[in-house]
Structure 1
């Protein structure tokens, strides 16, 4: 006869195995937000995308994920999280296979969008299923912490993994690596995981989904077009329409019984600081990672493998800090840790201003290590801070907004700051092509033209990271004023929800 203790042990083992199987797709979603940073020079040479196409290849994934994340979370509540998780994995796998063999930029952009469609189902569904696997509060907290650390590690390891693959295989390998993980997940998830749904999730407002997604895409398209080709009537009208749709979306949320985004949460200053931190962290991280990858390969001349190895110290620091954030927060306080994250990021980004067209490796490594401390703290603290700032019945909305801020920040970092760097290249470059890699691929360039192109790119890099640094430091000052000091009487919230970035 089976003892109760043995039954409990088997249940625990199955729950931890379920956690392991969910972490595979979670790591893929995070990794694919950054895996192309070192791959873009290879992709540019292979399928020759234009300036705006190159930016779309990088961030269409993040925009699709961020624009659909909350909507898909609500649909998962209604129709079942496991169904959404399995469907999302299939769509993600199909998009990955298509991207690996894309013959031109248009198909690659479409496949990246399909991957984003799948990724938007994986994050909220995975977190909900993990929370349901562990009924003990302490174990559940540990599991969600592992979930968050895996997501952060995926973001940090993406460029490194991409660089290692590209050192031996064609650029399509950065997408093919997803397929074995997807296949394993589809094989074991139905056995290890249980269905999760909410009894009264509320109606999903389809118009809000359309307004947010189309508004974001039109506004960003306008910015990208202006950066790549300059201002034009069509570009301006596109931007105005995009902004108008987003304004309509925001106004609509205040009149819905079940809003797609509960914007009333922003009345709380601490919540606002937390969401801005999640957004800005990924804006800075994505822009610096993307531009630095091009700098190391196309300006300093390092191979993709060498560039990947140079990124390892920063990735290791980010991952370790993310895992140890709970210990750091217990020692110095959550408020101090959150504020410190902004200043570590700001100072780390400033170190990139020491890079030149001849030397910059030491500055790059130092930057990734210092900023990595800030990124790691932020990834682990944002959701906890956001959730703790709102009433318990609104914790789900707060966690969804925290996830969305990270995904949107990852896309905006490349779109806005990447476009800013592109504008600088257009203004100060040799006016041969829209990007550094396109320019260097032109035959018969004189050394003077090459030097001019490299100087223009470096100017764009410095301007972009300088703006990102100032924003981080400014938000740190705002956090000092808005986030109240903690009182020692306040007990720790053992069961507060922690969402991955």
Structure 2
């Protein structure tokens, strides 16, 4: 007689007590806080990095972008690896590597070294994020508990963003810029100690084989596309820029076809046939796009145009970041009275409204107007991110938690990449086209002043008073004029995102 065996189910630890579950959540929030702090601190460290390492405009964008670019390209492969070797194990390995490479970044002597170190951080960071979210899906099986846990987990991004400018601002005012990267050590040590004790291991009981070809294709999709965007911003729409984008699109098409053919794909692209899943991923991506793009220019405006120190600039943004956290937690209650579609669409429209405030105040907008705009944006991102993350996980079975988490985190990091690459490139191109550099400057100084506002500020300190003031005035006006241009793009994209969410999340429950 043949004995029928049940299909494999997700392997995880036995059901834990409520206290242990919430303690595990606290531990899993540490890598989230770390990633958020790292992104925010870097935004505020850009002026100091510009003055110290003197990177060109494209190098400066790569310093910001290479981390989320590598991370986004490897999130799916690392999520798949975690399904095989264990998500908790992957989380701990990533923590050790991230801390070690952070020390390398802290002491980087050149822009090229810092870019390489940031790429290394992206490699190990890719081990942290999908593991933390997929572990939550398996720790919190009750839908109400899970939604609250995800809201708290998502608020960790905002909490880290709030903590980053203040702690990082203190470090930047008292130490060199590299000190901000050393923040990873005190954050990751508690994770390494408490993680094995509180977080249960989980993995796929029947994983497919590793697929190196798919890993290469995922990277070959991301890198050329972002490079093409940057090249277009630097030199216009050239053959090289267009070719890079086409190569990325071709690699992406090949990747999708390969996943559809494989019996056990690295990424189950069929999940996107579910309109709720695909709509929630789109909302996730574009919400982060709006937040990171906004942070890219507001952090520079507050320091280099308004003349605030890094820590003071961080306190200016603190109310908006607190609003982001509050909106994420409030979204859990809002979906009891409103549909998920209404909450997500409302959040995306709030994002658009924040950019409208920047547009209406013009390039002479006050810091108060920017604070209001950022608070509106934060409220929208907090609500949209919480519900979209919950929809992404709840629309798939538990055995697909790793894949869904990797896709969710890929959307987050891709939004971070594109927010800086697209809006940052538009801002850089607008700045270069508007700034007036005084005649007679050495070639290196003229190049630095013509590329970034931070470069112009550094060059101006070594010029005669009248010439330096004229350069600063022109550079600040060129920068804020570029902010108006990027804000118009932000408004358009958020309106499109709201329309997509309205259409795809119709059946979300």
Q: Cα offset for 1:157? A: 4.0
For 1:51 and 1:354, how far apart are their aligned partners in 2?
28
TM-score (norm 1): 0.88
Q: CA deviation at 1:312?
A: 0.6
**How far is 1:446 from its partner?**
4.5
* Counterpart contact for 1:417–1:464, Cα < 8 Å: yes
Q: Which residue of 1 aligns with 2:275?
A: 269
- Tell me the residue number matched to 1:441: 458
Q: Give CA deviations for 1:278-315 in whole Å, capped at 9, x if unaligned.
A: 11111111111011111111122222222111101100
Q: Tell me the alpha carbon deviations over residues 445-464 of structure 1, each in whole angstroms, 9 at most, x when there is no partner.
A: 35333322222211211111
For residue 451 of structure 1, the aligned residue among 452, 466, 473 is 473
**Which piece of structure 1 moves more, 117-126 or 184-193?**
184-193
For residues 356-435 of structure 1, what are the structure 2 equivalents within 5 Å? 358-389=364-395, 394=400, 396-430=402-436, 432=446, 433-435=450-452
- Mapped contact 2:283–2:385 kept (Cα < 8 A): no
CA contact (8 A) 1:69 1:124 kept: yes
Other structure's SS at 2:203 match: coil
- For residues 178-225 of structure 1, the C-alpha deviation after alignment (integer angstroms, 9 at most, x for no partner) is 111222222232333333222112233221111121331122123213
Q: CA deviation at 1:131?
A: 4.2
Unaligned runs of 5+ residues in structure 1 are 1-7, 487-491, 493-501
* CA distance in 2: counterparts of 1:362 and 1:425, whole angstroms: 23
Shifted more, 234-243 versus 338-347: the winner is 234-243
Q: Assess, with a 3 A threshold, how the Cα gap between structure 1 residues 377 and 14 changes in structure 2: closer, same or farther.
A: closer
CA–CA distance in structure 2, aligned partners of residues 139 and 387 of structure 1: 13
- The change in CA–CA distance for 1:141 and 1:291 in structure 2 (over 3 A counts) is closer
8 Å contact 1:34–1:158 — kept in the other structure? yes
**What SS class does the counterpart of residue 441 from structure 1 fall into?**
helix
CA distance, structure 1, for counterparts of residue 111 and residue 243 of structure 2: 25
What whole-Å deviation, never above 9, does each CA across 1:314-368 have from its counterpart, x for those lacking one? 0000011111211112122222111101110000111112445554211101101
When the two chains are superposed, the root-mean-square deviation of aligned CA atoms in Å is 2.6
Match runs of 1:306-321 below 5 Å: 306-321=312-327
| Aligned position for 1:279 | 285
In 2, distance between residues paired with 1:139 and 1:359?
Answer: 43
User: Residue 19 of structure 1 corresponds to which residue in structure 2?
Assistant: 25
Q: Are 1:256 and 2:273 an aligned pair?
A: no
Q: TM-score, normalised by structure 2?
A: 0.87
What secondary structure is seen at the aligned counterpart in 2 of 1:330?
coil
Maintained 8 Å contact 2:155/2:328: yes
The answer to whether the aligner puts 1:112 opposite 2:134 as a matched pair is no
Q: Which residue of structure 2 aligns with residue 322 of structure 1? A: 328
Aligned residue for 1:221, secondary structure, equals helix
Aligned residues between the structures: 480
Following the alignment from structure 1 to structure 2, what is the Cα–Cα distance between the partners of residues 62 and 23? 19
Point out where structure 2 has 5 or more consecutive residues left out of the alignment.
1-13, 438-445
Cα distance in 1, alignment partners of residues 366 and 135 from structure 2: 45
Moved more, 393-402 or 254-263: 393-402
- Cα gap change, 1:392/1:476 in structure 2, threshold over 3 Å: closer, same or farther? same
Match of residue 211 from structure 2: 205
Cα separation, partners in 2 of 1:134 and 1:244, compared to 1, 3 Å: closer
Aligned counterpart in structure 2 of residue 246 of structure 1, from 240, 246, 252: 252
Q: 1:62–1:410: 8 Å Cα contact kept in structure 2? A: yes
Judge conservation of contact 2:323–2:378 (CA < 8 Å) in 1: yes
CA contact (8 A) 2:78 2:126 kept: yes
